Structure 1
Amino acid sequence: MANTAQSKKRAKQSEKRYSVNKARRSRVRTYLRKVEEAIASGDQAAAKAALTAAQPELMRGVTKGIFHKNTASRKMSRLAARVKSMAA
């Protein structure tokens, strides 16, 4: 348990940051899930639209420190490849 004023403040800040980061992570996952669902449904137009909506959200997660840059790039690359392969 926090004893000093500083440790109490840090505990509060940590809790607040945790909830904000959790909400951001959840938001990004929701966008990614929408892309996955569009791919599964077989609708390429919807998948493309969902992918273009997910890209800035995922990169925003990188700038906010939720994801590593390479993780976000890898996810975008794989999703884009799957959307592109739907045309064939």
Structure 2
Amino acid sequence: MANTKSAEKRHRQSLKRRARNVTVRTNVKEAVKAAREAIATKDPAKKTDSLKAASKSLNKAASKGVLHKRTAARRISRLAKAAAKQA
């Protein structure tokens, strides 16, 4: 347990950040999963919409610092590549 007042504050802050990061990560996972499922169905309209949503979700996570910007870019690239392969 924290011994100083500043350490207690840092702990409180870390708990808040963790809760925020978990939410963002969950949203990213859901969006990517939906995009992969849409790619598998081969429905062009659904595929582009879900790809756009996943890309937006990944970029948002990167801008908030939840994901590294290159990690987000790599995942977006792989999704786009998979979508193009199915076309």
TM-score by length of 1: 0.91
**Partner-residue secondary structure (3-state), 2:30:** helix
Judge which range, 29-38 or 42-51, deviates more: 42-51
CA RMSD of aligned residues (A): 1.1
Correspondence for 1:11? 11
Runs of 4+ aligned structure 1 residues displaced above 3 Å come to: none
Count of aligned positions: 87
Partner of 2:72: 72
Paired residues of 1:58 and 1:72 also in contact (CA < 8 A): yes
Aligned 8 A contact 1:44 1:83 in 2: no
TM-score computed with the length of structure 2 as normaliser:
0.92
Structure 1 unmatched runs, 5+: none
Residues in 1 aligned to 2:51 and 2:3: alpha-carbon distance in whole angstroms: 47
Counterpart in the other structure of 1:53: 53
* Inter-partner Cα distance in structure 2 for 1:44 and 1:79: 14
Amino acid at match of 1:77: S
Q: Does the 8 Å contact 1:38/1:50 carry over to 2? A: yes
Q: Distance in 1 between matches of 2:60 and 2:16?
A: 19
